[in-house]
Amino acid sequence: MNIVLLGAPGAGKGTQAAKLVSQEGLCHISTGDILRSAVKNETELGKKAKSYMDAGDLVPDELIIDLMRERIQEPDTSKGVILDGFPRTTTQAVALDTMLSELGRPLDAALLIDVDPEVIVGRLTSRRMCKECGAIGTAADGDACKACGGEMYQRDDDNETTVRNRLDVYEKLTSPLIDYYRGCDLLISIDGDRDPDVVFADVKKSLGL
Ligand code: ADP
Ligand code: ZN
């Protein structure tokens, strides 16, 4: 099964993806995680991407499309992928269609985790992430990761100014993909403003899992 996750930053795509990975064995590809690791390791990609990410702007399409064209062909993707953070523009969506049809692996669904923008600002500014394993938590959870004990930190781009810009970018460039996938009859919309386990129950039901 090949799934695209859609939704504003902070809608809970990463949380739902992690649940799908642990229960269904799908391969999670998060462009945000790949880029953050590239920045941390100071690779060529990381050096090019960093200033865009810090501002909450999108990294240029060509960089992301080249990255994904390679990633999607690695052996761990053969049972299916959950794409989290890609595509984020219409150009990327068209490129993805081409990549998948070349591989003979059509998309099964575009899953929109739908959350009101004002709910998002509060969520993101209190979001914390584990330095070791990438687990997602909140400021209220304290300093240690519940999964591995690692140190929880706030992402550089989770401050209010950058969050507001990320939401604007989402509205302008990414939300048109909702209509794009509705047009291909692949869109499934889920109310994301509920407890993550309740959202996940809905996700599974709508995917027929
Ligand atoms: P979010 O919480 O905003 O969904 P991500 O972890 O998915 O965050 O992405 C963080 C940043 O990485 C984005 O703000 C953007 O700069 C960059 N990025 C991630 N995926 C893409 C993409 N498909 N196209 C362009 N830029 C991207
Ligand atoms: Zn951890």
- Of 50, 88, 123, 128, which residue is the catalytic one? 88
Nearest CA to ligand 1 atom 14: 56
Verify whether ligand 1 is closer than 6 Å to residue 32 (CB atom).
yes
**Predicted pLDDT of residue 92:** 98
Q: What is the dihedral of CA 150, 151, 154, 157, to 10 degrees?
A: -60
Closest CA to 63 of 27, 97, 39, 28: 39
**Predicted pLDDT of residue 79:** 86
Verify whether ligand 1 is closer than 6 Å to residue 7 (CB atom).
no
Whether the bond into 87 is cis, omega within 30 of 0 = yes
**Predicted pLDDT of residue 43:** 97
- Is 13 one of the annotated active-site residues of the chain? yes
Nearest CA to ligand 1 atom 23: 86
Average pLDDT, the chain: 95
Average of per-residue pLDDT across 27-52: 96
**What confidence tens digit (pLDDT) does each residue in 143-170 have?**
999 999 999 999 999 999 999 999 999 9
Question: Could you tell me the distance, in angstroms and rounded to a whole number, from the CA of residue 195 to the centre of ligand 2?
Answer: 21
| Calpha distance 192→209 (Å, rounded) | 18
- The atom of ligand 1 lying closest to the CA of 68 is 23
The two structure tokens encoding residue 37: 């690791």
**Predicted pLDDT of residue 166:** 95
**Predicted pLDDT of residue 103:** 94
**Predicted pLDDT of residue 117:** 85
Question: Could you tell me the distance, in angstroms and rounded to a whole number, from the CA of residue 152 to the centre of ligand 2?
Answer: 8
Verify whether ligand 1 is closer than 6 Å to residue 5 (CB atom).
no
Ligand nearest to the CA of 135: 2
Verify whether ligand 1 is closer than 6 Å to residue 85 (CB atom).
yes
- Is 69 one of the annotated active-site residues of the chain? no
User: Of all helices (H) and strands (E), which one includes residue 200?
Assistant: helix 196-207
**Predicted pLDDT of residue 118:** 85
**What confidence tens digit (pLDDT) does each residue in 93-140 have?**
999 999 999 999 999 999 999 999 889 999 999 999 999 998 999 999
- Per-residue pLDDT at 188 exceeds 90: yes
Please state, for a pLDDT cut of 90, what percent of the chain lies above it.
94
- Per-residue pLDDT at 24 exceeds 90: no
- Per-residue pLDDT at 16 exceeds 90: yes
Beta bridge partners of 6: 112
| Calpha distance 199→80 (Å, rounded) | 21
Q: Which residues of 165-194 are buried (b: 16+ CB within 10 A; e: fewer)?
A: ebbebbeebbeebbebbeeeebbbebebee
**Predicted pLDDT of residue 121:** 92
Q: Is 110 helix (H, G, I), strand (E, B) or coil?
A: strand
**Predicted pLDDT of residue 45:** 96
Radius of gyration (C-alpha) of the chain in whole angstroms:
16
- Is 123 one of the annotated active-site residues of the chain? no
- Of 155, 164, 194, 204, which residue is the catalytic one? 155
**Sequence-separated contacts (24+) of 130-139 with Cβ below 8 Å:** 134/33, 135/18, 136/14, 136/15, 136/18
